[in-house]
Amino acid sequence: MNSKTRKLTTTGMLCALAYTAAAVGRIPIVLFLKYDPKDIIIAIGGLLFGPLTSFVITLLVSFAEMLTISENGVLGFLMNVVSSCSFACTSAVIYRKWRRPSSVVKGLLCGWGAMVGIMLLWNYFITPVYMGYPRENVAKLLLPAFLPFNLIKGGLNTAATMLLYRPVASALRRCHLTELPVPEETARNTRNG
């Protein structure tokens, strides 16, 4: 199997997993806001293959959600894309730039911060449109509802991605579904052992 086929296969698998996580893993947190773990899978895809892969997975999964399980139509699709991309694409860009184990942590923390800031702005501007609330009422909910929700969501996504990225990357490498570079420590241990 060539590298393009491997990447396409793995990306398709990640899309299916992310959609399943969105459909099955919804947990109400604050008011009408629900957490789902799809961004963990999207971020792993970005760390494996780059920010463009995160973007593609986000678009495909958000579109599938819009057609099947979302109640918010096109605006819900747009909010999902902005939220997932601000977390996963930011993480992937930073990791790609420096390519060190510590860059995974830096990237995920920056992605978390980017998502929180961007979603506060998007909630202020877009939520009144699709929820039908006056903007003043939405502004009153930014700090007591939207901020804690996005902090919790980003924190869960960051922690879970940190725990899962390395084992998932190793498993995909063993299955020959990715050609990730071998980390320096592992290469050194292999040469010495």
What pLDDT score was predicted for residue 188?
43
Q: What are the structure tokens assigned to 78, written together?
A: 């747009």
Q: Does the predicted TM-score (pTM) go above 0.75?
A: yes
Residue spans of the domains in the chain: they are: 3-26+34-177
116-155 pLDDT per residue, tens:
999 999 999 998 988 888 999 999 999 999 999 999 999 9
- Is 48's pLDDT higher than 90? yes
What pLDDT score was predicted for residue 177?
80
Residues 7-34 have a mean pLDDT of: 92
| DSSP-assigned states of every residue in 97-118 | HH-SHHHHHHHHHHHHHHHHHH
Separation of alpha carbons 58 and 15, rounded Å: 8
Residues 159-163 have a mean pLDDT of: 97
CATH for 3-26+34-177 is 1.10.1760.20
86-108 pLDDT per residue, tens:
999 999 999 999 888 889 999 99
3-state secondary structure of 181: coil
Element (H, E) at 78: helix 73-98
Separation of alpha carbons 18 and 42, rounded Å: 7
Residues 6+ apart with CB under 8 A from 104: 47, 91, 95, 162, 165
Separation of alpha carbons 27 and 36, rounded Å: 6
What pLDDT score was predicted for residue 53?
96
Residues 6+ apart with CB under 8 A from 67: none
166-182 pLDDT per residue, tens:
999 999 989 888 776 54
Separation of alpha carbons 178 and 96, rounded Å: 16
Element (H, E) at 34: strand 33-35
CA-nearest of 49, 37, 122 to 91 is: 49
